[in-house]
Amino acid sequence: MRESHSTAEARPYHHGDLRRGLIEAARRLLESEGPTALSLRAVAREAGVSPAAPYHHFKDKGELLDAVAQEGWQKLDEALARAKAEAPSIREAMTGLGVAYVCFARDNPALYRVMYDTARDKEALPETMQNGEDSAYCKVRNTLVEAGADPTAATDLELATVAAWCAAHGLAEMRGFKQFDHLKDAVGGENNFLRAVFNHMGLFPSPQREC
């Protein structure tokens, strides 16, 4: 009757790691049905368990969403790391990060929404975002320094990092609006559009900007 712990290698409990199964079911539903269709019951259904089963692994629906969001931040982090590694030059590194950020939001719209929804009602970004040496936030800050920002002006550097993050998030949320379709055409596609907008936002520290 019970499937033999299909995918996962470790099976700590008598069902095969349901916690993991629920998170993956949620992710599956999220991207296929959109964020509004994601109900706890639907997740349980998708995972093949009863509607009450999730409560043995998560305090409530919010806690499941937290777990999903956390994996989202990890994925975003990886996307930024990839973008930074692939940047052809320091001059283009910041814009590259910005574009990668927006593309992540475009390609994972429901996940991105969940990430910020949960952050907003905790009124805090996840700790993993700023803590580690190679957290996403630090990656942006480091890139700014490499691009010429003064690393000794701590407050100013933080402000610049926040500014870059806000710019990326703002553009990520605006990018989908029909109003900007003609602009995208005018500059030759969405990618150019993103770069053009970022260029207007001075992501680079001042000494780097052409004068």
Partner DNA sequence: AAGATATCTTTACGGCGTCCAGATCGAGAT
Partner DNA sequence: ATCTCGATCTGGACGCCGTAAAGATATCTT
3-state secondary structure of 166: helix
Which residues are at the interface with a second copy (CB under 8 A)? 116, 119-120, 123-125, 129-130, 155, 158-160, 162-171, 173-174, 176-180, 183, 186-187, 193, 196-198, 200-202, 206, 209, 211
- Should residue 14 be labelled a site residue for DNA when binding is judged by CB under 7 A? yes
Strands (E), the chain: none
Of the pair 31, 150, the CB lying nearest DNA is at 31
Angstrom distances, CA of residue 93 to CA of 81, 88, 134:
11, 7, 16
**How far is it, in rounded angstroms, from Cα 140 to Cα 96?**
11
Q: How far is the CB of 38 from DNA (least distance, A)?
A: 7
Compare residues 3 and 177 and give the one whose CB is closer to a second copy.
Answer: 177
The residue among 99, 105, 110 whose CA lies nearest residue 34 is: 110
Q: Which is nearer to a second copy, 92 or 173 (CB)?
A: 173
What is the torsion angle, in degrees rounded to the nearest 10, for the CA atoms of residue 57, residue 61, residue 67 and residue 68? Answer: 130
Asked if 121 is part of the footprint of DNA (rule: CB under 7 A), the reply reads no
Binding site for DNA (CB under 7 A): 1-2, 12-15, 18, 39-42, 49-53, 55-57, 60-62
